Amino acid sequence: MKTYRRTATNWLEIQGETGVPLDRAPWLGGAAAGPAVALGAARFVAPVWPSKILCVGKNYRAHAKEMGGEVPSEPLLFMKPHSSLLDPGGTVRLPRESERVEYEAELAVVIGRRGRRIPAEQALGHVFGYAVACDVTARDLQRKDGQWTRAKGFDTFCPVGAEIATGIDPSALALRLSVNGELRQDGTTSDMVFDVATLVAYASNVMTLLPGDLILTGTPEGVGLLRAGDRVSVQIERVGSLEFDVASE
Ligand code: ZN
C-alpha cells in the first residue's frame, strides 16, 4: 500500500512524515525527482486532475430508500464538471439558487489505466487507487430539474481529500461523515449495490476511461443539510480523510 498527495507543484509519494516529489503523476509512472520534503510545511491540492468526474446515483439500498425510490436495475451514471473540484481544507460555497444543499460522503475511484469496454474481471486492474470525496448536491434543484447537471455542478461541489491510497481492497471499508463533530453518515462500502469493478466496467462501456479520471461511487444513508458555518469531516477506512468548511457564496 502506497499513499500519494499533490501540492501546487508536485505529486508526492508519502513516506512517514515526508513526501518524495515525483516528476509526473504516479499513475503515469512518476519517478522520484528530488529529496523528500517535510509534509508539515506543504499545502495540498486535490490529488487528481481528471478529464471527467463520473458519479453513481442511488448505489446504496438504504440511501435509495431515504430518497423515496428503489435501487436502479443498472448503475445510474451522471457527471460533475471539473470546475466543481475543491481542494482539501477548502470552503463549499452555498449558491443563492438553492435553499437545500446537502452532503453525500463517497468513496472515489482514481483510474490509473486507459480503457474502453473493460471486462468486470479486469476492472480493478484499471484502478490506480482511492480517495475520499463528497458529492455536494443542491437537493431542491435536483428534484426541480429532473436531470442533475445544475444540482451537482456548482463550483466547490466536489471536495476531494488530499490522499490517494493504493493497493487496498475497496469492498468493505467503513465510511463516516460528521458535521460539526456530530456523526451523520456511518456506512460501509460492502453495502454498495454495484461494486467498484462493476461500476468501472459499466462506465467504460459508455466512454473511454483515462488515467486520473474520478468515479464517485454513491453515498450511504444519512444525507442531510449543510448550513453556512458548518465544518464537515469525512473519513474512509484505510483511504484517508477530508475536511471542508461551508459558507454562503
Ligand atoms: Zn452522490
In the 8-state DSSP scheme, what is residue 181? T
Instruction: Please tell me the distance between residue 100's alpha carbon and the centre of ligand 1 in angstroms.
Output: 15
The pLDDT assigned to 64 comes to: 86
Instruction: Please tell me the distance between residue 33's alpha carbon and the centre of ligand 1 in angstroms.
Output: 37
169 grid coordinates: 481492497
Instruction: Please tell me the distance between residue 210's alpha carbon and the centre of ligand 1 in angstroms.
Output: 21
Instruction: Please tell me the distance between residue 84's alpha carbon and the centre of ligand 1 in angstroms.
Output: 13
Instruction: Please tell me the distance between residue 121's alpha carbon and the centre of ligand 1 in angstroms.
Output: 25
Name the band, by pLDDT with cuts 50, 70 and 90, for residue 215.
Answer: very high
Model pLDDT for residues 93-126, shown as the tens digit of each residue: 999 999 999 999 999 999 999 999 999 999 999 9
The pLDDT assigned to 70 comes to: 85
The pLDDT assigned to 67 comes to: 86
Name the band, by pLDDT with cuts 50, 70 and 90, for residue 205.
Answer: very high
Quick one: 121 exposed, middle or buried, by C-beta within 10 A (0-12, 13-18, 19+)?
exposed
Instruction: Please tell me the distance between residue 63's alpha carbon and the centre of ligand 1 in angstroms.
Output: 10
Q: Is the pLDDT of residue 32 over 90?
A: yes
Instruction: Please tell me the distance between residue 139's alpha carbon and the centre of ligand 1 in angstroms.
Output: 11
> Which segments of 104-167 are extended strands (E)?
105-111, 127-134, 137-138, 158-159, 164-165
> Which residues, including other chains, have CB under 8 Å from residue 14's CB and lie 6 or more apart?
2, 3, 4, 5, 39, 163
Q: Is the pLDDT of residue 22 over 90?
A: yes
The pLDDT assigned to 73 comes to: 94
The pLDDT assigned to 115 comes to: 98
Please name every residue paired with 9 in a beta bridge, in sequence order, or none if there are none: none
Name the band, by pLDDT with cuts 50, 70 and 90, for residue 69.
Answer: confident
Instruction: Please tell me the distance between residue 57's alpha carbon and the centre of ligand 1 in angstroms.
Output: 6
